[in-house]
Structure 1
């Protein structure tokens, strides 16, 4: 019995295959994790670009219609390509500061879901507005879902990324909305 045990202990013919069997799942997991982190960071940066673009395009005009807002939202949405655009929500709002520098929503439009209600109070960061001025606010949310279906064991599943960007109107004190739809 001892010679057989010694021969088995000295055998090295399958050691590489055994080591690979132990290390391969770890390496594959690390690779998939790196890919998912990269995808999440890319989508996060692109949601900021979507918010920036939507607010900037809206702030460049004196007045807008619902059709023009739809075009602005569609242009901003294209930034996410090749990632899915279905989980993207863009809310564009014009916030006008009153005499006491309290922001009120003048108009608001969303590409999906509900927009902000007209006349509701909106807290704008200090120093961004002054009495009787306005700011365009783009609020973007994206429900990110990992591409690899490992959400039950290794990732939190779907999670929401949010970005808010403010832009001051360039050609007038406020950007007027010329129709009542949204």
Structure 2
């Protein structure tokens, strides 16, 4: 029995396999975490590109219709490819400053959910508007969920990524909406 114990203690043939078995779960967790962080950062960056594109395309025209808004939102949404566009919400709003430079919503359209109420006050950053001028506001919200479905184990669930971009109309003082629906 002593001889058997000594022989087992001196044996080194399976040491690498045992070390690998201990290290493999740690390496898989690190790899999975790196993939999820990369996906989150990519989606976060693309949400800003969605907001920038939607506001910029809207600010380039003098008038828009329901169809134009839908096309602009579809074009901006395509930026997220290959990521899911289901959790994406885009709200395009035209804010017009009155004589006292207080911003009021002239029109607002959302691709999903509710848009801003027409006539409601909208606070824009200082210096962005002058009396009787306007600004196009694109508000983008994306509820990011980890792609590998590990939200219950490693994270609290989804992360709301919210981005806002302001663009001044280029061809007129305001961008008019020619129909009343969105």
Runs of 4+ in 1 over 6 A off after TM superposition: none
User: Match of 1:47?
Assistant: 47
Query: Which whole-Å CA distance do the structure 2 matches of 1:56 and 1:135 have between them?
Result: 11
User: Match of 1:116?
Assistant: 116
Q: 1:155-174, aligned counterparts within 5 Å?
A: 155-174=155-174
Name the TM-score, length of structure 2 as normaliser: 0.97
Query: Which whole-Å CA distance do the structure 1 matches of 2:14 and 2:139 have between them?
Result: 58
RMSD (Å), alpha carbons: 1.0
User: Match of 2:100?
Assistant: 100
Give the count of matched residue pairs.
182
Deviation at 1:23, TM superposition (A): 0.3
Asked if 1:145 is matched to 2:145, the reply is yes
Asked if 1:16 is matched to 2:8, the reply is no
Q: Point out where structure 1 has 5 or more consecutive residues left out of the alignment.
A: none
User: Match of 2:59?
Assistant: 59
Name the TM-score, length of structure 1 as normaliser: 0.97
Query: Which whole-Å CA distance do the structure 2 matches of 1:152 and 1:17 have between them?
Result: 31
Deviation at 1:154, TM superposition (A): 1.2
Query: Which whole-Å CA distance do the structure 2 matches of 1:169 and 1:118 have between them?
Result: 19
Q: Point out where structure 2 has 5 or more consecutive residues left out of the alignment.
A: none
Query: Which whole-Å CA distance do the structure 2 matches of 1:9 and 1:157 have between them?
Result: 47
Query: Which whole-Å CA distance do the structure 2 matches of 1:7 and 1:127 have between them?
Result: 82
Deviation at 1:151, TM superposition (A): 1.2
